Amino acid sequence: MDGPSLFTGAEGDDGTFVPFTDILFNVLLGFTMMVFVAFALIRPDAQTGIIDTNAEFIVTTTWPDDNDDDIDTYVQDPTGNVVWYHSMQKGFVTLDRDDRGNYLDEVTVNGVTHHIALNQETVSIRGILPGDYVVNVYHYTNPSAAAVPVTVKVEKINPKLSVVYYDTLILDHKGDEKTVVRFSVDKDGAVSDINTVPLSLIQAVRK
């Protein structure tokens, strides 16, 4: 006997019964696939530019690319130790490279010459030693016979990156020495008393 259906499902055009749960399953499956594809297309956060370092402070000195002049960085720690090109590691302070302008900035491999234009020196302070620090720059040679703009940046690395000092000054002759910045560090690494009171580190290392 024909009568009303007791089921809430749908029927196909050919009379075949399609349960409601099958339709729901197919919809959920399609939605799941769409979400999966969407997440697969999301690019992860770029990791370029992240540098792992154990240093507490980084001092970076740069001057114009391809400049022949030799600019030197001097850093004095609270004990009076001075790091410079003739003494590249003292206590917690290290001069990572003595950059001498264009000198030794070319390497020839298989007849092809590769040139590094960057002029940069980096000093790392690897531990917290409370007291006063001094950062100087010195115009060691001046073959360009011109004034040279020198940019110095002091960065505190831990617990997060922050700039202690950043500025550009002019060294205008061979033998020109300038105190870039002086600052104090307490036992917790906090920086205070940032100033530029002159102090010759050339005289200190020549004593």
pTM score of the predicted model: 0.70
pLDDT score for 43:
44
Average pLDDT over residues 178-206: 96
Q: Are residues 107 and 200 in the same domain?
A: yes
My answer on whether 125 and 194 are in the same domain is yes
Amino acid at 73: T
163 vs 43, higher pLDDT:
163
Name the one residue in this structure whose structure tokens are 């703009």: 149
Query: Do the domain assignments include residue 91?
Result: yes
Same domain for 30 and 67? no
Structural domain boundaries, residue 22: 10-41
Q: What's the pLDDT at 112?
A: 66
Q: What sign does the dihedral 94-49-103-165 (CA atoms) show?
A: negative
Higher pLDDT, 154 or 5: 154
The string of pLDDT tens digits covering residues 61-119 is: 999 988 889 999 999 999 999 999 999 999 999 999 888 755 455 556 667 665 566 78
User: Is 169 found in the same domain as 77?
Assistant: yes
Q: What is the pLDDT of residue 2?
A: 54
pLDDT at residue 120 above 90?
A: yes
DSSP β-ladder status, 70-76 and 162-171:
unpaired
Give the CATH number for residue 78.
2.60.60.30
User: Are residues 150 and 104 located together in one domain of the fold?
Assistant: yes
* pLDDT at residue 145 is higher than 50: yes
- Mark whether 33 and 126 lie in a shared domain: no
Q: Cα(118)–Cα(100) distance, rounded to whole angstroms?
A: 11
d(CA 179, CA 3): 101
pLDDT of residue 114: 56
Q: How far apart are CA 124 and CA 152, in angstroms?
A: 13
Residues 144 and 93 in one domain: yes
Confidence band for 6, pLDDT divided at 50, 70 and 90? very low
- Among candidate residues 128, 76, 72, 122, the one with its CA nearest the CA of residue 95: 122
**E strand map for 55-130:** 57-63, 70-76, 82-83, 89-90, 93-95, 106-109, 112-115, 119-125
Please tell me the total count of domains within the chain. Answer: 2
Tell me: do 133 and 170 sit in the same domain.
yes
18 and 83 part of one domain: no
In a domain, residue 2? The reply is no
Residue 149 tokens read as 């703009």
Contact of 9 with 25, CB cutoff 8 Å: no
SS3 135: strand
Evaluate whether residue 62 is within a structural domain.
yes
Of 149, 151, 174, 178, give the one whose Cα is nearest residue 163: 151
